[in-house]
Amino acid sequence: MARSATALGRWPAGDTAVRSTRWRGLLRNWSVSVGGGLVVVLAVVGLLTPVLTVRSPTALHPGEELRPPTVDFPFGTDELGRDVASRVLNGARTSLFAAVSSVSLAAATGVPLGVAIGLAGGLVDLLAMRAFDILFAFPAILLAIAIVAALGPSLRNLVLTITLLTMPQFAVMARGVTLAARPMDYVQAAVALGASMRRIAFTHVLPNVVPPLIVTATLNLSIVILVEAGLSFLGLGTQPPAPTLGGMISRGRQYMTIAPWLVVFPGLAIMVAVLGFNLLGDGLREVLDPKLRQGGGR
Amino acid sequence: MRAYVVKRLLLLVPTLLGISMVSFAIIHLIPGDLVTVLLGITASQNEQNREAIIQALHLDRPLAVQYLHWLGAVLRGNLGRSLVHGAPVAQEIARAYPVTVQLTVMSMVTATLLGIPLGVFSVTGRGRGLEAVIRVGSLLFISAPAFFLGTVLIVLGARYAPGITTLGYVSFFAAPWRSIGQMLPAALALGAAISAILLRYTRASMLEVLSADYVRTARAKGLAERRVALRHALANALIPVIAASGIQFVALIGGAVIVEEVFALPGIGRLVVNAIYQRDYTVIQGAILFLTANAVLINLVIDLLYRYVDPRISYG
């Protein structure tokens, strides 16, 4: 990921002509329309979960244990008689909330840090990049497991940990864009006119970050959803009785031969979310990064 | 080339030091008084044990001194003792390591055997329907978490092939074929996403190479299309795929942690997961240090191999 983020470093200046062809390209791109559609559905379902679910995800229904999907319980019930549909929707909502908040926090801290590192250059740049390389060397899920285990499992600690692990990717991306922008005439002109570092960072460098930022954020959302699912599978996310998709699969495993719906629906929910963000991110990269077009990205 | 190898080996030192610092720091993230927390885990609340823990981890000294003591021990192969049962962590890791090695190697082989041929076929294959199936299938595999695929495989196995054991581990050295057969579902679950990623890399790389001049020349001199695709195009298309597989290896080691738990394989991943449930922090610390150092070394070896195979790469 580090490498691809740096590869996204140079972007064409966005004049209006380029921008309008980009927009037309966006809608014609298969990945963007399908992925975007899935993401819109997820967002709507996530926002409307309290309206869409009749029953509480933690309410027990005695006598209704391990019921297969019916009109009454569209995804069936679990071993305690809880409504699986309500649990899947609420679990997906938590998962999306964790993913969106940690990726936003990571972008909000990583981008300014990366721009600052790129503008500072020299020893600061060297040391920061080495530090990021060390973080990238860890298999992400392993480091996340260790940190959450030490801090104590909770949704807040999970979001903080994922933020910490995702932030360097945004910093590396923003640094790459900054380094590419520095020698540009318009930046040099601003320097010659005596603009402050802050003004250069905000008005001349930051606008270049926007297209790769959108791509990095979207692709990271799919990775973060998988990491969150893995951690909650191990019991390191939101604590029971609140539902998590990973936790439902973990618990459902023992009943899977007699009640496959306990595992299949949360599994499909994870897949839909990851697929949506993956397709959208891939498509956006194809449309926004002209260098990929000749290569035939897929 | 030699200068490049030396440079990479020298860069390894700060990287490994950094990894050791992060691994060391993890135990100090625990909120509250560390000695009290650790005592609670060992389940023996007396003053003698309190002293023993402080002595063993040098907790009465400054953090930097604690780190140097710990690092010195690690360099001598001593990763400390388990807080729960007192066994040396290095010994536990050594016992679990062969299982993890077998799982990751089998997953990588499975991923390569599935991903590369299907990637080639998705370009050269005639039927558009089949090509679409391969592409949609690869997208689904990338999106499915390994623990979900693994669970589905276990249940399908139990329902349709009750004679086959998919859980647990048989030593490779005791019964090689049974060992491989029993681990195959786990390797498939772990390798599925990577095979899909390799498929996409192979496909992109093949599409690019097939429009190269030397491929046009090979066709112009009348070689069979099959020979052009396999001998002229694939040989060159594989180079970036090898580079990609090196990066995937790190992800594979992370993924093994959860897949070992799903398939009850007694590897390092399961060691970590059990240590989390028992809050055995010295085991977590030792395992993460060992696995990450492992990943860094494997990555380096693959990187050097890749540069050896393709002399066009610059040694910058």
Task: Flag if B145 and A279 touch (Cβ within 8 Å).
Answer: no
**Cβ distance of B253 and A297 shorter than 8 Å:** no
User: What is the distance in angstroms between the Cα of A211 and the nearest Cα belonging to chain B?
Assistant: 23
Per-residue pLDDT, B159: 81
**What pLDDT is recorded for position B233?**
82
Tens of pLDDT, residues B57-67: 787 888 889 89
Task: Provide the 10 A C-beta neighbour count for residue B231.
Answer: 13
> What pLDDT score was predicted for residue A41?
92
Per-residue pLDDT band for B260 (boundaries 50, 70, 90) equals: very high
Return residues 55-74 of A near B (CB < 8 Å).
none
Mutation target for A interface from B17, B143, B209, B271: give the one with most A CBs within 10 A: B143
Nearest to B291 among A142, A264, A297 (CB): A142
Partners of A263 on chain B (C-beta within 8 Å) are 148, 151-152, 155
CB contact under 8 Å between A146 and B288, yes or no, is: yes
**Residue A23, pLDDT score:** 62
Read off the pLDDT of residues B57-110 as tens digits, 9 standing for 90 and up.
787 888 889 899 999 999 998 898 888 888 899 999 999 999 999 999 999 999
- Whole-number pLDDT of residue B46: 64
DSSP A61-129: -TT-TTPPP-SSSTT-B-TT--BHHHHHHHHHHHHHHHHHHHHHHHHHHHHHHHHHHHHH-HHHHHHHH
User: Is the Cβ pair B258, A134 closer than 8 Å?
Assistant: no
Residue in chain B closest to A266 (alpha carbons) equals: B148
A226 CB neighbours in chain B (<8 A) are: 145
Q: What local confidence, expressed as pLDDT, does residue A10 receive?
A: 40
Higher-pLDDT residue of A100, B220: A100
DSSP string, chain B: -HHHHHHHHHHHHHHHHHHHHHHHHHGGGSSS-HHHHHHHHHT--SHHHHHHHHHHHTTTS-HHHHHHHHHHHHHTT---B-TTT--BHHHHHHHHHHHHHHHHHHHHHHHHHHHHHHHHHHHH-S-HHHHHHHHHHHHHHHHS-HHHHHHHHHHHHHHH-TTS--SS---TTT-HHHHHHHHHHHHHHHHHHHHHHHHHHHHHHHHHHTTSHHHHHHHHTT--HHHIIIIIIIHHHHHHHHHHHHHHHHHHHHHHHHHHHHTT--SHHHHHHHHHHHT-HHHHHHHHHHHHHHHHHHHHHHHHHHHHH-TTS---
In this predicted model, what pLDDT tens digit does every residue of B232-247 receive, in sequence order?
Answer: 888 788 888 887 777 7
Total-model pTM: 0.85
- Provide the pLDDT for residue B51: 78
Contacts of A145 in chain B (CB under 8 A): 257, 272-273, 276, 284
- More confident of the two residues A67 and B112: B112
Say what the pLDDT of residue B268 is: 93
Residue B213 reports pLDDT greater than 80: yes
CB-closest option in A141, A250, A264 to B257: A141
Segment B192-204 mean pLDDT: 89
Statement: residue B263 has pLDDT above 50: yes
Least confident of A46-60, B13-27, B289-303: A46-60
Check residue A13 and give its pLDDT. Answer: 44
Give pLDDT tens digits along chain A (298 positions): 333 333 333 444 444 455 556 566 666 778 888 899 999 999 998 888 888 877 888 888 887 778 888 877 888 888 888 888 899 999 999 999 999 999 999 999 999 999 999 988 889 999 999 999 888 888 888 899 989 988 988 999 999 999 999 999 999 999 999 998 888 888 888 888 888 888 888 888 888 888 889 989 998 999 999 999 999 999 888 888 889 999 999 999 888 888 888 999 999 999 999 999 998 988 888 887 755 544 333 3
Q: What was the pLDDT predicted at B234?
A: 83
Q: What is the pLDDT of residue B127?
A: 63
Q: What is the pLDDT of residue B17?
A: 93
Rg (alpha carbons) of chain B, rounded to whole number: 24
Enumerate the residues of chain B whose CB falls inside 8 A of the CB of residue A222: 143
B-chain CB neighbours of A233 within 8 Å are 145, 147, 258
> Does pLDDT of B121 surpass 80?
yes
Torsion of CA B240, B243, B244, B250, to 10 degrees: 180
Contact assignment for B254 to A274 by CB distance below 8 Å: no
